[in-house]
Structure 1
C-alpha cells in the first residue's frame, strides 16, 4: 500500500475517494493512516458532498410509551442494503458515542437531533453526525421544573433544517424549529374550546447559537398528529390530521396544505405518513383501497399527483408469505392499525404489519426488514421513525 500511495498525491486521492458513498468510506478509513487522514478532513467532506449524492442508508426507529412519562431508551438503526438483499441488520449502538442515552427528535442530511431521556434533572439537546461521531450539546431552554419537563415537553415537535448547496460551497450550519400549540382565548376565558388555536414557532441557529420566537402564527384545529418534521427545499413539513403543516424556514411563514384525498372518502380511517422522494413531499395512504402514494407538485400550491397505487388484493397475491387476509385485517383494525406506514424515502416504504417490511414501490419489491424481536420491542403503537442517510456533513464543535 505504501508503494501505491507513493504514486498518488493527496489531491488525486481526494478526487478518487470523494466519489465514494459515505457508507463505504467508513471501511476505507481503515486502509492506512493517509487514507484515514484524508477522509477525516473537513476539506474532503466538502468535496465529497459536492460530488456524491446523499442517499438513503436506513431508518432509525425508537418506540415510546403512550401511558407514562418515561422514555424507551433503545434506538434501532435498520439498514436498507440488508433489507434489499432479503436479510436484516439492526444496530442498537449507533448513538453510543453520546454522553448519555437519548430520544430522537429529528433527522436531516445525515445529522440527527436528540434530547436527553426523561426523567432528567438537567436535560440537553444534541445535534450529531453518527458517521463522524461529532456532536454539539445545547442547553434545554423551555422548562423550569422536572414536572414541567416530563408532562409538557416529552412529545415536542422539534425539526432540523440543514442546507447543502454544492454550487456555493458547503456551510456547516443548521437550524432547529420548534412548533408550539397554543390557545388564544376570546372574551369568555372560562371555556377553552371557544378560544382560537394556533401554531407558533421558535427557531435556533447554530450561527448565532441562540433561540428566538418567530412572529409567524398559523391557525389550526388540533395538535400535530405526528411530530416528525421533514425538510425539503427550504420548507419543513409536519403531518397534521388530513392536512400538512408547512413552514418556510428562511422567510418564516407557514400554511396548511390539504391532504390529496379527504378522510370521508374511506370506509375505515386510513393510516398515513409523509416522506420525500426526488425532492418532493410524498403523502402515503394505506386503506381498504390499497397503498397510494401522492406527490406534492409545488409546496406553495395544493396540487397533488398520484404517483403509485396498488390494491391490498394485489399485495397479498404477490407476497402471500408475508400477508394473509390483508384487506379483512385492515378493515377490522383490531388493537390498532394492521398495516402502519412508518416512513417513506426515495420510493422505499417502511411499514409495520406484525413485523417490519420494506416495500420498494418503484421496483415492486417486498422484503422483511426485521422482526419485532430484533427490535427488543416494548411498545410499537406509535414509534418515532426517521429516514437517514450517512453523510460527511461536518459539525462545528467549537
Structure 2
C-alpha cells in the first residue's frame, strides 16, 4: 500500500525528468521521438514542453525565401522556403538552395512577411486589380511550420494597396500570433489592420502618425512584443528623392502587439548626417540594430542593447568599404548574435558576409544561383498554435 501510494508521485517526477532531458534535444530528432511510446508523444505534444523546448532551441539556422526565375521559355517560376545554416550557405550556396530535404514549396503568389518562434507567416494574393490609378489587392495570411508541416487556416481577406507594409510577431500576454498591416492612403493617413490567428476578423487602429516606410524594407521587425519600422515623417505624397531627406525626417515606429499602441524611437545620437543610402533595421536576439553607410566609404552598425532605451544605442561596428572589397554596398541582414553581417554590393551580383569576430570577408555569387532571396532569422521549433 505504501509503495502504491508513492507511485503517482514517482510517475510525475519521472515525467518531469524525461521532459527536462527531451527539451534539450534539437527539434528535428525530437519529433521522431514521439514514436517511442504514448507517454513521450504526450510529453512532446504538451504546450508547456513546446514553449520550454523553444526557449532552449539555439538560433543556428536561417530561413531563405527563394524565388527561382525561369531559365527557358515556358518554364514555370518556382518559389520556396529553404532552411540552411549560415555556414553551409556561405560555403556552398548552390547546394543549400537546391536541397530538397529542407525545401518547402510556395505558390507563385506567396511571399513571406515574417518569421517568429519557428512559425513563418505567408501572405497570399487572392485577387489583384493592379493598373494605373488602382493598385488594389486582396490578400490573406497563413502560418506554417516548415519543420512539422503545420499549416494554419487562412486569415480573412484584406483589401490593401501598394502603400502598405506587413509585420508578424507574438503577443505573449494573450499567447497569440499576430500579423499587422500598415496601410497608407493617398492623403498620407496611416492605419493599422491587426489580425490574431485563430480569430474571425481584422481590427482597425487609427491612431498612427503620418509617415512613409521605405519601399525597400517594408517588413516590420519583431522584438520585445513589438513590430518596428524605419520610416520618414512629414512627407507629402509617395515619391521622394533620398537626396532631399534630412535627419529629422527619419524615425522608428514601434507598434505594441499587446496594447495596439505605438511610440517613436529616436535614432542613435551619434548619427550626425544623413547616410548616403537608405539605412535598414535589423533584429537579432534581444537587440535592435540600425545599419547604414557613412559618406559612402564605411559601413556602420548600431546596436540598441536594451530595447526601448534610446540611451543604450552603441556603435557596434565601423568598417571601410575598402576592407570589404566594395565601392558601394547595401546592408541586408544580421546573423550569429550580431557577429555576421550580410551585405550586397551595388553593382555586383554577390552577397558579402563580414564576420567581426575574426574580421573576415566572404563573398557568395548570387547570380550563379539564378534566384532572388530574402533572409530571416529562424529557430526550429515544434510550435503549432491552435
TM-score, normalised with respect to structure 1: 0.69
| Structure 2: 5+ residue stretches without partners | 1-13, 70-75, 130-137, 233-249
Structural RMSD (CA): 3.7
1:360 pairs, out of 331, 355, 358, with 355
Report which structure shows greater RCO (CA 8 Å, sep ≥6): 1
Check conservation: 1:273, 1:344, Cα contact below 8 A. Answer: no
Q: Which residue of 1 aligns with 2:50?
A: 45
Distance 1:221 1:27 in 2: 45
Once the two structures are superposed, residues 190-237 of structure 1 have per-residue CA deviations (whole angstroms, 9 ceiling, x without a partner) of xxxxxxx23221111235442110242212256655211111112211
Alignment of structure 1 residues 221-240 onto 2, 5 Å = 225-240=216-231
2:36 pairs, out of 30, 34, 37, with 34
Q: Which residue of 2 aligns with 1:340?
A: 330
Q: Which residue of 2 aligns with 1:308?
A: 317
State whether structure 2 residue 247 is matched by structure 1 residue 255. Answer: no
Higher mean Cα deviation, 346-355 or 279-288? 346-355
Higher mean Cα deviation, 302-311 or 250-259? 250-259
Check conservation: 2:284, 2:377, Cα contact below 8 A. Answer: no
| Structure 1: 5+ residue stretches without partners | 1-8, 66-70, 144-148, 166-170, 185-196, 316-322, 331-338
Alignment of structure 1 residues 1-398 onto 2, 5 Å = 12-22=17-27, 26-27=28-29, 29-30=31-32, 33-34=35-36, 37=41, 41-43=45-47, 44-50=49-55, 52-62=56-66, 73-77=78-82, 79-83=84-88, 86-88=91-93, 89-90=96-97, 96=104, 102-117=110-125, 124-143=140-159, 152=161, 156-163=164-171, 173-184=176-187, 197-206=188-197, 208-220=199-211, 225-241=216-232, 242-260=250-268, 264-266=273-275, 269-287=276-294, 288-297=296-305, 299-300=307-308, 302-303=310-311, 304-315=313-324, 323=325, 326=326, 329-330=327-328, 339-345=329-335, 346-347=337-338, 348-353=340-345, 354-368=349-363, 371-374=366-369, 376-377=370-371, 380=372, 384-396=374-386
Check conservation: 2:182, 2:190, Cα contact below 8 A. Answer: yes
Query: When you count strand as a share of all residues, which structure comes out higher?
Result: 2
Distance 1:108 1:360 in 2: 24
Cα distance, 1:389–1:157 mapped onto 2, change above 3 Å: same
Report SS of the residue matched to 1:202. Answer: strand
Report SS of the residue matched to 1:55. Answer: coil
